[in-house]
Amino acid sequence: MEYLFITILLLLASFLFASHFRRKLSNLPPTLFPTLPLIGHLHLLKKPLYRTFAAISAKHGPILLLRFGFRRVLVVSSRSASEECFTKNDIIFANRPRLLAGKILGSNYTSIGWSSYGDHWRNLRRISTIEIFSSHRLNDLRDIRADEGRLMIRRLMSECSSPVNFKSVFHEMKLNLMMRMISGKRYFGGSGELEEEGKQFQEMVKETALVADTSNLGDHLPIMRWFGMKGLEKKMIKLQKKRDAFFQELIEQQRKLDGIELENKKNNTMIEVLLQLQKTDPEYYTDEIITSFCLNLLTAGTDTSASTSEWALSLLLNHPHVIKKAQKEIDNHVGKNRLVNESDMSSLPYIRCIVNETLRMYPTVPLLVPHESSEDCVVGGFHIPRGTMLLINQWAIHRDPDLWSDPERFQPERFESVESTKDGFRFMPFGSGRRSCPGEGLAMRMVCLTIGLLIQCFDWERIGEEMVDMKEGLGLTMPKAQALVAKCRPRPMTHDLISD
């Protein structure tokens, strides 16, 4: 037994020495010692991962090559290295790793978020850019966003006699807004039948975030797929069936309205636009492609914009002087005789500063969606092998004291100064490069309008003397740990602003 123990120790020492020697010869990035057999560095991963990686990078360097089981993972926490990844190496890192979530929830890696870089992805991106998120298409649908903003203010007017749960307000408003743009339906504030349908989809969104954020050892240790990981796979398959059925029903409902001349109809919904494309090329624009498009748009657009709005209002409640400054800007440029609208935002730079500062401190995706290298490349002078998964810790970059003065302080004014310039990728809440979020324009329009209306129409109070709790919860989109509950008091002109 003693000899067996010594033999095992010698084998382990030999393995670690050989790994260290190979690393020196191949100029790989620094790693953490020891790298355990089989599991690599999986034992070090604690949620939230962006904080864990930030702490490790602060100690060991901003470019690290870790091992998640058999998978190499490049963790980048610096401006210069992220710039290299998204400029000279942009095409190399334009792929996605093959993870279970992409196989099942990403329709076998065919959705725009999970598909590999190539002709299929380029076509999906073209559709997104031209047919879904173009300035022309967003302008066509801005009346819907204005109407939902007005309805939100009316709702708050009716509920402001007592504290309001703003997590609920924002999620219901954003879901209404996105569904009206996608299918013409409005779930909350209308009929009970539609509201029940909306609640069912809300549950699907929550379930999606839960299973997608669950650590799946099978992604990194293939053998684990047969030991205890089948439960997660079954949950994903069941969830995807529900999501597909939900959107297939929306598509069928739109088909029943096919007699309308869509070309002559203003404000076509996004499903209508995609069904028109289906007529031109039915073999490519299948129902599965349309479902995937709408599903990505709705799940991503609803949760992220609602979360950002909640973080922004939480920060404002803890910094009332910022609210006063923003109200003054709105009163001076918009006046007190009409509501703020999207076209005002070019004259309201401080509102955009508030939203940008919120996204700096609380980015909706603190770790950018994983990329994967399609061939060998060099980052920061280090050799990066083909097939390496890339994780950009934008949360760490957004709070780097070498890039931002007093980074833990909420200071919208920093985006009025030279500090706000996108020098070296210091600020990229929607990612960068070819795989950046195509919905950035829509997201900024929605959140800026929401925050502008709330500031224009109400004065604000916290519940009690304590500051709003700013702890982060767990999840893909970094939600608040505690839902925001606050008091709002209509400003003198608000009643006239929302009257018909």
Name the residue among 421, 426, 372 with its Cα closest to residue 396. Answer: 426
The answer to the question of whether 437 is labelled as a binding residue is yes
Can you give the C-alpha Rg of the chain in angstroms? 24
Which tokens hold the place of 256?
């029943």
Reply yes or no: is the peptide bond before residue 48 cis, omega within 30 of 0: yes
Residue 451: helix, strand or coil by DSSP?
helix
Q: Residue 277 CA to chain centroid, in angstroms?
A: 27
Length of the chain, please? 500
Strands 71-76 and 389-392: parallel
7-30: b or e for each residue (b if 16 or more CB lie within 10 Å)? eeeeeeeeeeeebeeebeeeebbe
- 197 CB-side CA count, 13 A: 16
E-strand ranges in 294-376 read 371-372
- Other CB atoms within a 10 A radius of the CB of residue 262 amount to 16
Nearest-10 crossing angle of helices 230-255, 270-280: 80
E-strand ranges in 337-467 read 371-372, 377-379, 382-384, 389-392, 458-461
Paired strand residues for 124 = none
**158 phi/psi in degrees, rounded to 5:** -80, -20
Q: Residue 162 CA to chain centroid, in angstroms?
A: 31
Which tokens hold the place of 83?
């710039």
Please report which residue ranges of 27-163 form alpha helices under DSSP H.
49-60, 79-86, 100-104, 119-127, 135-140, 142-159
Nearest-10 crossing angle of helices 349-361, 440-457: 110
Distance CA 385, CA 390 (A): 11
Note whether 348 and 331 are within 8 A (CB).
no
DSSP state of 465: S
The torsion of the CA quartet 403, 409, 414, 419, rounded to 10 degrees, works out to 0
Q: Pick left, alpha or beta for residue 246 (phi over 0 → left; psi -120 to 50 → alpha; otherwise beta).
A: alpha
| Residue keyed to tokens 């500051």 | 467
Q: Residue 185 CA to chain centroid, in angstroms?
A: 23
What residues form the annotated binding site for heme? 437
**Which residue ranges are tagged as binding site?**
437
